[in-house]
Amino acid sequence: MSGIPPFPPEKAALRRELIAARRSLSPESRRTAARALARSALALPELAGARTVAAYVSVGAEPGTRELLDALREAGKRVLLPLLLPDNDLDWAAYEGPGSLAEAAHPGKMRLLEPSGPPLGPQAVTGADAVLLPGLAVDRRGMRLGRGGGSYDRVLERLERAGAHPALVVLLYDEEVVARVPEEPHDHPVQAVATPSGVVRFTP
């Protein structure tokens, strides 16, 4: 027995539904959405004013981030990308362009691409001005539903312990901004969601 409590059934059911909807999107729809998402995200003041942005490389049917990563670098931002550790925690390394990505050493269930530069340590994320979070949905209160692996829960806990307050932004498809997602005590609200159609902001 691991001692880890099971996910609430309503979270598991919603995750299955959202993942199935993503997988039903055509490759062309995903490419079009990725271009629009990059434009929406770049319009966020939190990203425009950021010097360092912690981001991630999208996988599978996730809303595409590759164009956004390159646009952030072209805008002079320092971009940090995660390195998945064996215990599902995240280290970080600088993104130096598409040629700097390599297959993850600890890919888990998905084939991940990671930066090939030197690891900067899990604490590196605390120096980011904005953190882009993956997710499956965000509700109208700003509560995020992740995939359930716990990696970004640790990131958010690390930020809180360090007293760091970067802007937290989730990248989603339009339909994934929903009325309400199941919430647990460790869940953190985010400041904004960027979708292909634009930006949804939340006030504390």
CATH code that applies to domain 9-201:
3.40.50.10420
Confidence of residue 204 (pLDDT cuts 50, 70, 90): low
**Do the annotations mark residue 13 as ligand-binding?**
yes
Q: Which residue has the higher pLDDT, 21 or 184?
A: 21
User: Among 93-97, 107-111, 192-196, which stretch is predicted with the lowest mean pLDDT?
Assistant: 107-111
- Which secondary-structure segment (H or E) carries 27? helix 27-42
Rounded Cα distance, 74 and 70, in Å: 6
146 labelled ligand-binding? yes
Q: Is 117 annotated as a binding residue?
A: no
Q: What is the mean pLDDT of the chain?
A: 90
**Extended beta strands in 41-197, E state:** 52-54, 78-84, 90-94, 101-103, 113-115, 130-133, 137-139, 144-145, 167-171, 177-178, 192-195
Question: Is residue 42 annotated as involved in ligand binding?
Answer: no
Q: What is the mean pLDDT of residues 191-202?
A: 95
30 assigned binding-site residue: no
Three-class DSSP category at 81: strand
Q: Is 144 flagged in the annotation as binding?
A: yes
Question: Is 149 known to sit in a ligand binding site?
Answer: yes
Q: Give me the percent of the chain exceeding a pLDDT of 70.
A: 92
14 is in an annotated binding site: yes
Question: pLDDT tens digit string along 72-82?
Answer: 999 999 999 99
| Residue 12 labeled ligand binder | yes
* Residue range 3-23: mean pLDDT, rounded: 79
pLDDT band at 31 (very low <50, low <70, confident <90, very high): very high
11 marked as binding residue = yes
**Alpha helix positions (H), 62-175:** 66-74, 151-162
Rounded CA separation 182/143 (Å)? 9
Q: How much of the chain exceeds pLDDT 90, in percent?
A: 77
Q: Has 151 been labeled as part of a binding site?
A: yes
- Section 93-110 average pLDDT: 80
Q: Is 147 annotated as a binding residue?
A: yes
pLDDT tens, 120-178? 999 999 999 999 999 999 999 999 999 888 899 999 999 999 999 999 999 999 999 99
Say yes or no to pLDDT of 4 above 80: no
Sorted by sequence, the CB contacts under 8 Å of residue 25 that are 6+ apart come out as 33, 61, 173
